[in-house]
Structure 1
Amino acid sequence: MPEIIQTLQVNGTIAADSNGTLLVLSERLGGHDTFLTGQLQLGDAAPTAVRILTFDDVTVLRLLDQSPPALTNPWAGVLHLPHGWRARSIPEDLSTAATAARRDLRTLDEAELRYALTFLGEASTDAIRRSRIHAIVRGLPTSEGTL
């Protein structure tokens, strides 16, 4: 396992979808990017790789290992985060575009910022990235508080 920067006591319930088992945390994890990968320690079993999916009001762990440990409902364990907490930083190109258009990125709440940055981060070409920056900036209120 990589060097562990952060460990968290977690618990929740078991759910399933068409892609396999999901562990729904009883409390949403704040401060983590969606798709962050970690290791979940359940009792004395070997740690199992999980993908952390944090949405507006829930955090779900998707098991990545082919042979997951035995689970009981409800479950409890320790989540090891090899990358620790990740701050959501605004990229320079988005910040520059917002400033040039006199739009205020500070008006976005945590969920809106997460959606905007995920939308921007999924751009596959420079042209798509520029278009997405334009769309995000146009949706922001002006620095004076009006659209």
Structure 2
Amino acid sequence: MLTPSLPVCGRTVPAPTGLLLVLDARIEGHDSFLTGTLALDDFDIPVRITTLDDITTLQPTQSVPGLPLRWAGILHLRHGQRPRNIPGDLTAAARAAARDLYALDDAEMRYALTFLGEATTPAIRRDRLHAIVHALPTTEGDRA
């Protein structure tokens, strides 16, 4: 698989866990919690990447001397694009309950797919499917 490389820029802020690199723009379409390498000036920094609702941060996984307050570099991702496939059981359950799965925005869909994907047993998956589907508006508008 080809390693995606993204130009990024941001600011360095202190954090209880060490320096935190806060990107100016949230990374879209990639796994939310993964690792990569930030190519910055003359060195490569291994980083842990965390993407939340409206922010992406990079946490260096080793000591980094003297990072500037503002910086720009290339973020190399080993894991590629996040699959955006909606599983068949979720689509079928939403259809059967007359619920509008496509009413979710990108962040809500990401949370729903992560919540469902982390189910560890068939029973937990069924319960999570039920919770997701019944939180959706009806296909005819939410009459709750």
Give TM-score, length-normalised by structure 1.
0.84
Q: CA-to-partner distance for each residue in 1:66-95, whole Å, 9 max, x for gaps?
A: 333541111221101223322422122212
Q: CA RMSD in A?
A: 1.9
> Which consecutive unaligned segments of at least 5 residues does structure 2 have?
none
Which residue is 1:132 aligned to?
128
User: Does structure 1 residue 145 correspond to structure 2 residue 141?
Assistant: yes
Cα–Cα, structure 1 residues 21 and 89, in superposed 2: closer, same or farther, change >3 Å?
Answer: farther
Shift of 1:112: 0.9
Aligned length: 143
Which residue is 2:64 aligned to?
68
> Which consecutive unaligned segments of at least 5 residues does structure 1 have?
none
Give TM-score, length-normalised by structure 2.
0.86
Which residue is 1:24 aligned to?
22
Cα–Cα, structure 1 residues 134 and 26, in superposed 2: closer, same or farther, change >3 Å?
Answer: same
Distance 1:54 1:88 in 2: 16
Distance 1:67 1:96 in 2: 48
What's the % identity of the aligned pairs?
Answer: 57
Structure 1 stretch displaced more, 74-83 or 87-96: 87-96
* Aligned residues of 1:48 and 1:69 also touching (Cα < 8 A): no
User: Does structure 1 residue 85 correspond to structure 2 residue 86?
Assistant: no
